[in-house]
Amino acid sequence: MRRPLRSALESLAAVLFPSDCRICCQPLVRLSRIPVCEGCLDSLAPAKVSACSICGEALEFVAVESEPVCGLCRRVPPNFDFAISFAAYDGALRRLVHLLKYEQLRPAADVIGRLLAECLAARKFDRPVIVVPVPLHRSKKRQRGFNQSELIARSALRYLDSPNFELRTSILRRVRATTSQTGLTRHQRRENVRGAFAVAAPELVKGRAVMIVDDVYTTGTTLNECARILRAAGAEQVVVATVARVYRQSVMEMARQAASSESQWQRDSQDRNAAVAQAVAG
């Protein structure tokens, strides 16, 4: 009886308290902790790109190596061992991250954390890992009211429910406020974050594996700086995990075109099969 009762309550709520999905703007017909429809949530899928095995950047050509490496990582290897992300920072995922960061919709962290947990579960970690969210400066945290990276990390670990992951929110500190990275060159970005972070308890990371968690991997400058000081503090392995990744637009456009072509082929195939079935039946 619970299911019919819930359905009736959801229908009543949709009539008395009408609301639209904050992503597709279609009317919501079910109760939810976040104003996002099931269709938009179901559209959140892992990225299907050939990616660099170190930084996670999408590669323009399908790599034949089992662990392909992009040109930049070959020339200048980052301070972390590898970076993983759930999907591209666009569409419904981008809007979901914005709902959390800029519209203070904290329940969105639960959905985002679930996506990150799905990404982490697909990767084997054979040793205990200290999970460290990228910290906000105290002025920024006071303004926003929370650290979105910490909320995402906590949610992901709840879904993973594994003793191999240990959340530590006070190990990494942001000791200097930084300006926005938008519009800065790669060199300016590095200088902007250099010296902005510090390890509060080096003895806790010495000889350990550390995972840095953030919401979005944009250029990797901030994450690389965090990895650098963790390495300097004695961390043996440093990995990066984000729910979203900004890929090169040309590569992502190729992936979208390929996906669109595959979908069109599937539709055409279905139409051909239906026509054959109709002809046989006739």
Query: If you write DSSP's letter for every residue of the chain in order, what string do you get?
Result: -HHHHHHHHHHHHHHHS--B-TTT-PBP-S--SSS--HHHHHT-------B-TTT-PBPSS---SSS---HHHHHS--SSSEEEEEEESSHHHHHHHHHHHTT--TTHHHHHHHHHHHHHHTS---S-EEEEEPPPPHHHHHHHSS-HHHHHHHHHHHHH--TTEEE-SSSEEE-S-----TT--HHHHHHHHTTSEEES-HHHHTT-EEEEEEEEESSSHHHHHHHHHHHHTT-SEEEEEEEEE---HHHHHHHHHHHHHHHHHHHHHHHHHHHHHHHHH-
Q: Using the predicted structure, report yes or no on whether residue 67 has a pLDDT greater than 70.
A: yes
Please write the tens of the pLDDT for every residue from 97-145: 999 999 999 999 999 999 999 999 998 888 999 999 999 999 999 999 9
70 shares a domain with 161: yes
Q: Is residue 261 situated within a structural domain?
A: no
Q: Are residues 155 and 240 in the same domain?
A: yes
* Residue written as token pair 């919709």: 105
Q: What residues contact residue 61 under an 8 Å CB cut-off, 6+ apart?
A: 50
- Domain co-membership, 139 together with 18: no
Virtual CA dihedral for 105, 113, 26, 8, nearest 10 degrees?
-90
Residue 112 backbone phi and psi in degrees, to 5? -65, -40
The total domain count for the chain is: 2
> What's the pLDDT band for 260 if we cut at 50, 70, 90?
low
Residue 217 in any domain: the answer is yes
Work out whether the CA dihedral 257, 262, 263, 269 comes out positive or negative.
positive
Strand partners, 238: 210
Same domain, 208 and 153: yes
- Supply the range of the domain harboring residue 29: 1-43
Residue type (1 letter), 9: L
- β pairing state of 197-199 and 172-174: antiparallel
> Are 173 and 57 found together in one domain?
yes
Classify the C-alpha dihedral 74-77-81-83 as positive or negative.
Answer: negative
Quick one: average pLDDT of 210-227?
Answer: 96
Structure tokens of 153?
Answer: 């990390």
In this structure, are 110 and 220 located in the same domain? Answer: yes
Q: Are residues 243 and 126 in the same domain?
A: yes
Q: Which of 5, 25, 6, 29 is nearest to 17 (CA)?
A: 29
Q: Is residue 280 part of a domain?
A: no
Mean pLDDT across 272-282: 59
The pLDDT of residue 90: 94
CA distance 102 to 144: 8
Whether 277 and 118 have beta carbons less than 8 Å apart is answered as no
In single-letter form, the type of residue at position 198 comes to: A
Number of C-beta neighbours around residue 45 at 10 A: 12
Residue 14's pLDDT is: 42
Place of tokens 């930049």: 72
**Does residue 264 lie within any of the structural domains?**
no
For residue 105, the domain's CATH number is: 3.40.50.2020
At residue 237 the predicted structure's pLDDT band, cuts being 50, 70 and 90, is very high
Q: Are 170 and 201 in contact (CB under 8 A)?
A: yes
Length of the chain (residues): 282
Environment class of 73 (CB within 10 Å of its CB; exposed 0-12, middle 13-18, buried 19+): middle
Answer whether residue 107 is part of any domain: yes
- The model's pLDDT over 5-50, given as tens digits with 9 standing for 90+, comes to 554 444 444 444 458 999 999 988 777 788 999 999 999 999 988 8
Q: Is residue 209 part of a domain?
A: yes
Separation CA 96–CA 86 (nearest Å): 13
2 lies in some domain: yes
- Average per-residue pLDDT for the chain: 85
